[in-house]
Amino acid sequence: MRFEGQDVIIFWIETAMKSFVDTIEEVSGNDAANVVMETAGFRMGNIVSDFFKQDCINNVINSFPDIYAAAGWCDLEIVDFSEEEKTAVIRVRNSWEYKVNKVQGKQKMSTFLPGHFAGTLTGLFEQNTGFSVVKSQLEGDEYDEIHYYPSEGHPVRDIHQFTRIKEQEEIKRLENMVEERTETLTTLVKEISSPLIPVLDGIVVMPLIGKYDETRADDLLSRTMKNLPEYQANFLILDVTGLDDDLDAYSITLLQSLTHSSELLGTKSAIVGISPNLSMKLIEAKVDMKGLNCFSTLKHAIHFALAQEGKQIIG
């Protein structure tokens, strides 16, 4: 088909157009879809205004009701219009957008047509035009009434701003998710890293694993001193088999603090699993090992701890 010298097509409003709008909303989400539809309407209105710029604005505005009725878009009424103040009041009845919104079950009208007329008036006035919807058929009014006025806003700029806001919101959401996951993982690591393990009455084992920085060392020492009395432990066995051989100051200080602090609580200490490399590091650091029992295996340390209490494993 051709209309006004150009190719045109026909869409069924309550099926094809509804499907078109539904798809945009499904893919983009309702908020984004509203911005997209308003911006698309505004841009289309700008194109329409280009066809009429050679004519008197009053003549163009007065011709709108017949043009849009003939195109099947809506019943249009120009209630008020001021070229000097660049304002207008437009009433729309039974538009294709209203019919689509009604079939969709919406309670609030979309803004393609209001945006479209804003774009048209922007082109005719050569002044950016905003709008506000005063009445709506979807909300029970007899017609849609839209007021137009000069505005600093611009849907084309707004859609880019909207996109940036949504991108920032998504980035923030991902950052919050990462922060929450990190916090959860940190808590989990704290709970499973170097736990106190009761092996026999009065004997607990603490495996030291990996590398310790200041935060991890301080947290471990604090939790150990808090939880050790709950086990009524007479003997604390520190298993350093899994400790990083590249021993740093934090790990060395941690070993010393654990043994000295446990003694203040009345708990004796022993260390098992010292590797040759680790032993050299301890010597280089001049760690005072005097009075500290060291064993090659956990089994030997447990037997020693039992012997200190006059007990032994039989079987």
| Structural tokens at position 98 | 């209203």
pLDDT of residue 123: 92
pLDDT along the chain (315 residues), means of 10: 78 87 82 82 88 83 91 93 94 95 91 92 91 94 95 66 61 75 66 73 86 81 86 88 73 83 88 83 74 84 86 71
User: Residue 223 in 3-state DSSP?
Assistant: helix
Instruction: Choose which CATH entry (3.40.50.720, 1.10.10.10, 1.20.1440.230, 3.30.750.24) describes domain 193-308.
Output: 3.30.750.24
| Structural tokens at position 79 | 């209630």
β-strands 87-93, 268-272 pairing: unpaired
Rounded-to-integer distance, Cα 46 and Cα 230, Å: 77
Give 251-263 as a 3 state SS string: HHHHHHHHHHHHH
Rounded-to-integer distance, Cα 90 and Cα 79, Å: 6
Which residue in 40, 8, 48, 11 sits closest to 24, CA to CA?
Answer: 40
- pTM passes above 0.85: no
Rounded-to-integer distance, Cα 32 and Cα 24, Å: 9
pLDDT of residue 166: 59
pLDDT of residue 117: 94
What sections of the chain are H helices per DSSP? 18-28, 30-50, 57-70, 96-104, 112-125, 155-192, 214-227, 249-264, 276-284, 298-308
* Amino acid occupying residue 57: I
User: What is the residue extent of each domain of the chain?
Assistant: 2-153, 193-308
Which residue in 257, 271, 268 sits closest to 218, CA to CA?
Answer: 257
User: Would you say domain 2-153 falls under CATH 3.30.930.10?
Assistant: no
